Each structure stands twice: as C-alpha cells, then as structure tokens.
Amino acid sequence: MTESPVLVLGATGSTGRRVAGLLRARGVPVRAAARTGEVRFDWTEPRTWEPAVGGADRMYLMAPHELPVDPAFVTVAVGAGVRRIVLLSSRGIEAMGDQRLLDAERTVRDSGAEWTIVRADWFDQNFDEGFFRPAVMAGELAIPLDDHRQGFVDADDIAAVAVTALTEDGHAGRGYEVTGPEALSFGAATDLVGQAAGRSVQYRGSAEEYLVAQAALGVPRAEAEQAVAAFAALRAQGDPELSDAVRQVTGRAPKRFATYAAEAAARGAWRG
C-alpha cells in the first residue's frame, strides 16, 4: 500500500526544508509546499489550499511571521483527510501577547485532528538565515533584552522533533517546549557568532538603542515601542527554564550554539 504524503508548509524556510529533508531521508513521501515551492501554496490565495492538501494525511503547519494560521485552511485540510498536525509555535507567547500564535494553537487543538505543538525558543538560524543576518553583517545587533538569557535552539533539532511527532505514535495532544542545551544572553550569542565569522559584531541591549536601530530601518516609533513592551514582558519572566524535549523526543542531544556558529561560518554564512 502506498504511504500518503506529508504536507510540509513553508518548505523553503529554515524549519520547513529541514522537515522535508528528514522525512525524505526516512523514505516518507513529502509534498513540499510554499509560495515558490514544488507545490504552490499561498495563505492569501485560498484556491491554492485544496490542491496542496489533497491526498495528504499529515501536515507540518507553520505560517510566516506576518500572517496568521487561517482556521478556514485547517478546516479544509482536515476535511480533505489530514489526520495529524504538527504546529510550529514559539515559547513565551503568553508573556509577549502574541495573539497570532495563541490563536493558531487554539485552532489546531480544536481541529478534530491529532495534534502536537512545538514551541521553539529563538532559532540559532536567525543569525545566518533569518532577520538577524543583516545586523550581523552590519556589525551591530540591537535587541532590548539586556543580559536576559535565551534557550537558543537549532533548526535541525526543531525539525527532528517535528518529524518524530509526524511519523511516530505517542505525541498526540502534547506540547513540547524546545530549547537548546544552554541559556545564553544575546550578547554572548553575538560574541560567538562574531568569533566564528571572524568579524566584529556589537550587541546593543537597551530599549533606547533598539528604538534608534528601528528608526534607522524606517520602523514607525509606535510599532517599535510596542515591540519594546513585548520584550520587557519577556524579560520580566527571568531566565528561561531549559527543556530536555529534544533528547526525550529524538533520543539525541541538542546542538550547542557554538557548534552551530562554527558550522555556519564553515559554510560561508557570513562572508562578504
């Protein structure tokens, strides 16, 4: 009997392409969907939804930062036969008031399908594939978290947790807080990136420095101040409690941030 494919949304992104790669390595059929992927999928174009989900029985669900997970799409997916959903979410969303992800989690829990929620800490790959890379290349990163530490986690580990939940039993109705093996401040992480990349990268951790940096990027003052308030709420929670979810779910230790930085530098992530 032919195995049904797993629909992977965001299949060209940091976690999606890793999820697709790990599934294929296990011999699992993959339907890799994105706006410019093998299968075209666009949250803003409902006519792309049914062709993407048709025939799939499991789904890796995520949405870009600027877009919500549309409940209507999840209804379409479950109606088309998706019986297991793994949602990528984030840690600290209650404190930061991230209604987009809170709503996404509720939608998945109420979908009628088996669900697993992967709440990841800050991705390591934000520094080389994501929105921190321009700041790294410019030599200055401003995040208003002072010396507050984070449980930076590698996208390879996030993907491994997601793939296990998609392909093995025992994870339905579970939420996993996924972190790396150590808590680091943004200053310490930035130093490790700079050392690996062989370039000077300064960390600016105050609210004032963040507002100046956002103004230089053209971000409206009110929007930047709203972000400062969300970061302040996260900082008020104190240093994070690290999770052993990567080891518990996958059987392997999570990657250290210094290892990530060295590997990214060896690939030429910060050349130029």
Per-residue pLDDT tens over the stretch 249-263: 999 999 999 999 999
29: left (phi over 0), alpha (psi -120 to 50) or beta: beta
Whole-prediction pTM: 0.95
Sign of CA dihedral 94, 98, 99, 101: negative
84 with 170: CB under 8 angstroms? no
Low-confidence ranges of the chain (pLDDT < 70): 1-2
For residue 121, give the nearest of 157, 86, 147, 146 by alpha carbon: 157
pLDDT confidence of residue 1: 52
pLDDT confidence of residue 64: 83
Helix, strand, coil share (%) of the chain residues, nearest 5: 45, 15, 40
Q: Give the 3-state secondary structure of residue 173.
A: coil
| Paired residues of 41 in beta bridges | none
For residue 193, how far is the Cα from the chain centroid? 19
For residue 92, give the nearest of 130, 136, 148, 164 by alpha carbon: 148
pLDDT confidence of residue 66: 79
120 with 96: CB under 8 angstroms? no
Residues, the chain? 272
For residue 39, how far is the Cα from the chain centroid? 21
Q: Report long-range pairs for 221-224 (Cβ below 8 Å, ≥24 apart).
A: none
Q: Alpha-carbon distance 120 to 92, whole Å?
A: 9
DSSP symbols for 199-241: S--EEE-SHHHHHHHHHHTT--HHHHHHHHHHHHHHHHT-SPP
Q: Alpha-carbon distance 65 to 74, whole Å?
A: 18
Q: Which residues neighbour 91 within 8 Å (Cβ) at sequence distance 6 or greater?
A: 119, 120, 121, 151, 177, 179, 240
Structure tokens at 93: 């969303």
Domains of the chain: 6-120 (3.40.50.720), 122-152+180-240+255-272 (3.90.25.10)
